[in-house]
Amino acid sequence: MRSPMRMQRSTVHRPRAVAAIAACLLVLAAPTAAQARGRHGHGAGAAVRVLRLVNEERELAGCDPLTLNRRLSASARRHSGDMAFRRFMSHWGSDGSAPVDRIRRSGYRPAAWGENVAYGYRTPEEVMDAWMTSPSHRRNILDCDYEEMGLGLAEPGDYWTQDFGTAR
């Protein structure tokens, strides 16, 4: 297993008005051409595998499954691409944007949102193992208030972004 130092702390934002939301879904858009050609064969298959792994963990925790959201996925893909191109890992974009800024720019109107990022993990199983052993990342994955998820993956370096949300 890779060192947790390769992951960034997850971020979570949940206004008080949303604290009672209990459903969880997840929606993922088609991968970019670069993702589809990833050196580890990630492409759309990686998103489906991450979604399956996320929902298996959520089921064990008593949460509803997430659905993939194309807008959250677009936000996550752009952030992963930015990190890979500039070779950095952070929740802050190279333009100074916070996760919620990028999520809103994608057209998603979040009532609640969260983000996990990681790099250097070659497969969905590796990155999910790492996220599940980190308390803050695990908390995002198992937050029953989230309904949707988007996933971004970019090369070089296997930069992963997982955006969570509940729409207004």
Q: Would you state the structure tokens that stand for residue 47, as one six-digit string?
A: 């998103």
pLDDT tens readout for residues 41-59: 455 678 889 999 999 999 9
Which of 6-10, 48-52, 67-71, 79-83 shows the lowest per-residue confidence on average (mean pLDDT)? 6-10
| The pTM of the whole model exceeds 0.85 | no
- How many folded domains does the chain comprise? 1
Task: Decide if 103 is inside a domain.
Answer: yes
Quick check: is 1 in a domain?
Answer: no
Q: State yes or no: cis peptide before 156, omega within 30 of 0.
A: yes
State the CATH number of the domain containing residue 62: 3.40.33.10
In a domain, residue 141? The reply is yes
Q: Which residues span the domain enclosing 118?
A: 39-167
Please check whether residue 33 lies inside any domain of the structure: no
Q: Between 147 and 17, name the one with better pLDDT.
A: 147
Please check whether residue 3 lies inside any domain of the structure.
no
Decide if 31 is inside a domain. Answer: no
Q: What is the pLDDT of residue 36?
A: 36
Residue 32 inside a domain? The answer is no
* Strands, sheet with 26-28, edge to edge from the N-terminal-most edge strand: 11-13, 110-119, 159-167, 148-154, 67-69, 26-28
